[in-house]
Amino acid sequence: MPRASPQPVESARRRLARLFGLALLSGGWLAGCTSPDPTSPPTLARGQTHTGQAVWQARPHAPPLAGELVLARRAGGDFFLQFSKPPLTLAEAARTGERWRVTFPGLSREYRGRGRGTARLLWLWLPVALDGGALPPHVTFARSGESWRLANTRTGESLEGYLVP
């Protein structure tokens, strides 16, 4: 019966080099997983925060959802908006510079982009409307005292409520 030839023994130096390489790759991978999101709430630490209540209707025949609304914003247009029915977060929207993000955690959906944003995501337009900014076509805003209503006339989505400083 033929004998199998012995495998060459790996030198200690070569094993140490391989372990060091694996450690570098693992460290880079872990660091990439923890990089901060540029549109996360901590970026608005020195801004104004408003809280209130809102009713969101995603479609004309969908049931309306009532919940708490928190809006943190800074001069220059950066903002973080959260709509929740504690303990659940129903929607979040944020803008930092030219980057924006809208998430619906319960639906596991997230939308990101650059620029002004799309009219289909009504959450991006509430801070703009409250500041008196220009809205996209088919998005309307009306204010009555402390109350307001934002709606997309094309999709039937609406958001109405109030915010206090």
Q: Is the pTM of this model over 0.85?
A: no
Percent of the chain with pLDDT over 70: 72
Report the alpha-carbon distance of residue 121 to residue 111 in Å, rounded: 9
Residue 68 placed within a domain: yes
Residue 46 placed within a domain: yes
Residue 148 placed within a domain: yes
Q: Which domain holds residue 125?
A: 41-164
Residue 137 placed within a domain: yes
What contacts 94, CB < 8 A, 6 or more positions away?
39, 40, 41, 79, 80, 81, 100, 101
Q: With 70 as the cut, is the pLDDT of residue 111 above it?
A: yes
Mean pLDDT of the chain: 81
Q: Tell the residue number behind the tokens 């372990």, with chain if given.
A: 19
Residue 127 placed within a domain: yes
- For residue 30, the model assigns a pLDDT of 44
- Confidence at 88, pLDDT banded by 50, 70, 90: very high
Q: With 50 as the cut, is the pLDDT of residue 32 above it?
A: no
Q: With 80 as the cut, is the pLDDT of residue 39 above it?
A: no
Q: With 70 as the cut, is the pLDDT of residue 29 above it?
A: no
- How many independent structural domains does the chain possess? 1
